[in-house]
Amino acid sequence: MASLNYKIVNVTDTGKRSILIIYTGGTFGMVQDESGALIPFNFGKAIDKIPLLRNLGLKLTVISFPIPIDSSNVGIEEWRDLAYIIEENYAQYEGFVILHGTDTMAYTASALSFMIQGLNKPIILTGAQMPIGLPRSDARENLIAALEIAASTKDRRPMVSEVCVYFNHLLLKGNRAQKIRSSTFAAFGSENYPALAEVGIEIEFNESALQPYDDKAKLKVVGDLNPNISLLRIFPGISKSAIEALITEKSIRGIILESYGSGNTMNFDWFLSLLKKATKEGKIILNVSQCMGGTVLQGKYETSKRLDEVGVLSGRDITTESALAKMMYVLGMDQKGNDLRRLLTTPLVGEMDD
Ligand code: ASP
């Protein structure tokens, strides 16, 4: 296990269900520097800025990354830290709320859904579009609702037992969520999967969409992710040399191909030959759509028919964020050939439809 780097910054002991809040940074706790730019701020006593937290009837512990970060700087190391922090604290808490910047929250939620297996407790990521210190900030509502969801039970079992994103009244499946807006409070959506809950006067859970609770689940954290992957987003007029640079690079083992519509690409011979050369060399290519909604159907159009032939795999309705995390996770395993391809095209944690 990596050496864990975090500190406890606050504890409220007002209730029975215990939730661990992990503050990583992001707009939620940011302040403005002299130039007016938002920078991460030490969360410190931010919990005191929300006195209401003491009335939730929860026992809250807040821990913080030693140096809070803008989530644009998140990478595999931070994902591992989060996974291992949760593993280390799993037995002591009934739920986990991660405060995270919105920019890469969907990537982190996807990665954690693959890395933290055998969950029977909730892990809810949330954040804010405006810092908590501002009067109209969405930080309070997001944090309070995320905590209530993390503490929710039914028949004395946690209502949620998976990695989710909570934002602006919606609870979304973590590996289906995407940041879709940068300037309104409704920052997240999951076009291909229904919301897991809607928060109004009541919290209305969509129970049939939730991962069923499994009391035999045994926690297992996987930290081996392979970073040697790339993302090829095609566009009209893209040059052969740009594509070559991305997919023929020796160190690259997996490529997410972001195609048009229902999985279409240009069907020029030079392009298909490059894809074929890459798959022949053992690189894995997964086809995901640039559209937020819908699915990849290789063969529906003439322009996607030959993708199967050159060894491109269909990512169906997976998001790009989730496909990247899944590729890193699957390539981190000791698997080859057909087993590797099967893992990529099979839903592992609800990230794609069957
Ligand atoms: N740049 C910020 C971050 O992702 C944006 C946010 O938190 O909303 O950390």
**Confidence at residue 124, expressed as pLDDT on a 0 to 100 scale:** 98
First to last CA, the chain: 33
Cβ of 70 less than 6 Å from ligand 1: yes
Tell me how far apart the alpha carbons of residues 102 and 179 are, in angstroms, rounded to a whole number. Answer: 7
Residues 188/126, Cβ–Cβ less than 8 Å: no
**CA nearest 104: which of 71, 130, 126?**
71
Report the interhelical angle of 320-331 vs 105-115 (nearest 10°). 40
Q: Which helix (H) or strand (E) holds 29?
A: none
Name the residue of 65, 73, 102 whose CB sits within 8 Å of the most ligand 1 atoms, as the mutation to test its pocket.
Answer: 102
Count CB-CB contacts under 10 A for residue 193: 19
Q: Which two tokens stand for residue 297?
A: 């159907």
Tell me how far apart the alpha carbons of residues 190 and 188 are, in angstroms, rounded to a whole number. Answer: 7
| Catalytic-labelled residue, pool 12, 14, 24, 27 | 27
**Confidence at residue 37, expressed as pLDDT on a 0 to 100 scale:** 84
Compute, in angstroms, the gap from residue 82 CA to the centroid of ligand 1.
17
**Confidence at residue 38, expressed as pLDDT on a 0 to 100 scale:** 79
Tell me how far apart the alpha carbons of residues 354 and 350 are, in angstroms, rounded to a whole number. Answer: 9
Cβ of 142 less than 6 Å from ligand 1: no
Q: Which two tokens stand for residue 193?
A: 């999967």
Provide CB contacts within 8 A for 89, sequence distance 6+: 20, 96
**Confidence at residue 350, expressed as pLDDT on a 0 to 100 scale:** 97
Sign of CA dihedral 145, 149, 152, 154: positive
**Confidence at residue 121, expressed as pLDDT on a 0 to 100 scale:** 98
Cβ of 127 less than 6 Å from ligand 1: yes
Q: Which two tokens stand for residue 283?
A: 């690189």
**Confidence at residue 336, expressed as pLDDT on a 0 to 100 scale:** 86
The tens place of each residue's pLDDT in the chain, 354 residues long, gives 444 667 666 677 666 799 999 999 888 888 777 888 877 766 655 666 677 887 888 998 889 898 889 999 999 999 999 999 999 999 999 999 999 999 999 999 999 999 999 999 999 999 999 988 888 999 999 999 999 999 999 999 999 999 999 999 999 999 999 999 999 999 999 999 999 999 999 999 999 999 999 999 999 999 999 999 999 999 999 999 999 999 889 999 999 999 999 999 999 999 999 999 999 999 999 999 999 999 999 988 877 889 999 999 999 999 999 999 999 999 999 888 899 999 999 999 999 998
Cβ of 103 less than 6 Å from ligand 1: yes
Provide CB contacts within 8 A for 241, sequence distance 6+: none
Compute, in angstroms, the gap from residue 242 CA to the centroid of ligand 1.
30
pTM: 0.94
DSSP of 122-139: -EEEE--SS-TTSTT-SH
Tell me how far apart the alpha carbons of residues 181 and 54 are, in angstroms, rounded to a whole number. Answer: 32
Tell me how far apart the alpha carbons of residues 26 and 39 are, in angstroms, rounded to a whole number. Answer: 8
Name the residue of 67, 100, 103 whose CB sits within 8 Å of the most ligand 1 atoms, as the mutation to test its pocket.
Answer: 103
**Confidence at residue 34, expressed as pLDDT on a 0 to 100 scale:** 80
Burial 108-133 (b: 16+ CB within 10 A, else e): bbbbbbbbbeebbbbbbbbbbbbbbe
Compute, in angstroms, the gap from residue 343 CA to the centroid of ligand 1.
32
Helix then strand then coil, % of the chain, to nearest 5 = 30, 25, 45
Count CB-CB contacts under 10 A for residue 181: 13
Cβ of 72 less than 6 Å from ligand 1: yes
